[in-house]
Structure formats: structure tokens, C-alpha cells
Amino acid sequence: MILFDGNQFAQQREADLQKVVAELKTQGKHITVAAILFTEDKGSQLYTGLKQQAAQRVGIEYRVFSFSVTDSLAEIQQQLKTLNEDSNITGIIIQKPWRKTWEAAVLGESSQDFQNWWLSLVTTIDPHKDVDGLHPDTLASVKDGSWKRQGKVLPATAKAVLSILGSSHQLQAGKYIVIGKSDILGKPLAYELRNLGFEVEMIGKKDLESRVLTGQLLKDGDVVISATGQQRLVTGEMVKEGVVLVDVGEPRPDIDRRSVEKVASFLTPVPGGVGPVTVVSLLENAVELAKKV
């Protein structure tokens, strides 16, 4: 089995990106990403720190604007509008907090649910500065295959998965099963795979439970990508011999590495797989958007 080394791959991409950023600076183009961080979420603090460090390594400025999830929606939206209008800011990202973290802090104080709160924030981002593909317009353009023509970028995690499969020669004919239907990964990844001409089935946890009950499991998947956050959701008994497995679980793996090692032909581990590549993919997106200014 090939065990993908995301750290090494990300380092190579960073080295290439550093040269591009340096060249842009000689042309007077400076890249600055603004990140909205919610301080209650420990995962967001970790990921923001990793992104900021990577940005510094390649020569991109990464400014962090901290809020509490209990701060008024209007206050956060006003900060986003200010960033939209600031010509020195070339990219904007909102580090999405874990739903349970948000609910623990907010429920009882607000009648608004998490999804509406999140949608109110991401729709405030200027689509031309949307480095992580969070705006609904970006997702719609990925779905209909027009994102490149519109000058948009793929969500960073979806881009990372595709770059891993492509560079490892695993972007192959066959059936792709994407577990998880999030706007950040599951949907844009499934849409883009279909745009590329592949057979794709996107399923949720309940769909997977049905497959387990019927005995279908994941045996029909030549490439299985899992991003649910449920530890050891995918085991070796569930997949076919020679399957390509991409684990996008966080902070713990979705895929049980020990049980799939004798079955799979390729696996991205957690940690050290998709995560590092997602960070550099975000910075590559920032460069692409800055070039269009």
C-alpha cells in the first residue's frame, strides 16, 4: 500500500509558491489574506496558526481578526464589509467553528441556528476575495462547471484532494464514493469530479448505514473519500481489494488505517495527509485571486 506523505508534498508546493509570490512582489503585487477566527473553537485556533505560519514561509501576509461566537452578527459582518472594501486585502477566509462549540456558547442567547448564522457570514464575503470558496455563488459555479470562467477558485480542501489524487496518479477511471455532504468538501469535490467526467456518488452517514444493513458496504467504490469527523467510520471489511482511500477526517481519522492496510492500494493518513495540502492549496488560491486584481 502507498501511504501518501502530505507534509513532503506540501513542502514542495510551498517552495514553488514562494517563487511565484516573490515574482509578484517585484511586479508590485502584495498578497494579504484576512482570516476571521472565533476564539472559543480550539480547532480553529490550531488551523489558523498553521495557515499563518505557512503564509509567512511563502511570503504572504496573513492577518487574523478574532471574535467570539457570541458577538453580534452585525459586528462580524461589518468587519467583513470593511475587509471587502480594503484594497490591501486580497483574500478573505472565515475559519468555520465546530457546530457543537457554537451551540454550546450561543444556544439560549439566540434563536438563530448555526446554518443560518454561517450562511449570513459567508454571503457577506466579496466573491472576488473568497479564497476558500465559502460563498454560495462559488459553490454554484463549481456545480455548473463555470468557476474557472468566472475567475473563482475551488474550496481549498476539495482542491487538495484533487491535487493529491492527480499527482499520485490515482485520479483514475472507476467509481468515486464521497462520504459527507458539506459545502466545504463533499459537495464541491463531487461536483468537480463529475465535471471531470467521473462517476460519483455522494453519500451521508445515513446512506452509509443503509449500505451496511444491505451488505453493499463500500464495495462498489474504486476511490473512497471520507470527510465526516466520525472516527474509524471506514474499515477494511467495507472496501474492495485495491481501493484508493482518501481520509479527510479531523482531528481524528475517518478511516481505520490498521484494518485497511492489507486491502487498500493507496491511503492518505490523518494526520499528515490532506491537512498540510489543504493549507498550501488555500495559499495557492490566494495567489490566483490576487493575480486577477
Residues 123 and 163 in one domain: no
What are the pLDDT digits (tens) for 34-88? 999 999 999 999 999 999 999 999 999 999 999 999 999 999 999 999 999 999 9
For residues 291 and 76, which has the higher predicted lDDT (pLDDT)?
76
Q: Which pLDDT belongs to residue 65?
A: 98
Among 129, 145, 180, residue at a domain's last position: 129
**In which domain, by residue range, is 249 found?**
156-275
**Stretch 17-40: mean pLDDT:** 96
Percent of the chain with pLDDT over 90: 92
pLDDT of 108 > 80? The answer is no
Confidence of residue 166 (pLDDT cuts 50, 70, 90): very high
What are the pLDDT digits (tens) for 217-255? 999 999 999 999 899 999 999 999 999 999 999 889 999
Q: Does a structural domain hold residue 16?
A: no
Residue among 17, 16, 10, 8 nearest 286 (CA): 17
Q: Does a structural domain hold residue 19?
A: no
**Stretch 178-197: mean pLDDT:** 96
What pTM was estimated for this model as a whole? 0.95
3-state secondary structure the chain: CEECCHHHHHHHHHHHHHHHHHHHHHCCCCCEEEEEEECCCHHHHHHHHHHHHHHHHHCCEEEEEEECCCCCHHHHHHHHHHHHHCCCCCEEEECCCCHHHHHHHHECCECCCHHHHHHHHHCCCCHHHECCCCCHHHHHHHHCCCCCCCCCCCCHHHHHHHHHHHHCCCCCCCEEEEECCCCCCHHHHHHHHHHCCCEEEEECHHHHHHHHHHCCCCCCCCEEEECCCCCCCECHHHCCCCCEEEECCCCCCCECHHHHCCCCCEEECCCCCHHHHHHHHHHHHHHHHHHCC
Find the CATH number of the domain harbouring 104.
3.40.50.10860
Report the range of poorest mean pLDDT among 106-120, 164-178, 213-227, 248-262. 106-120
Structural domain count, the chain: 2
pLDDT of 110 > 60? The answer is no
Q: Does a structural domain hold residue 199?
A: yes
pLDDT of 107 > 80? The answer is no
For residues 112 and 88, which has the higher predicted lDDT (pLDDT)?
88
Residues 271 and 160 in one domain: yes
Average pLDDT, the chain: 95
Q: Which pLDDT belongs to residue 106?
A: 84
Confidence of residue 112 (pLDDT cuts 50, 70, 90): low
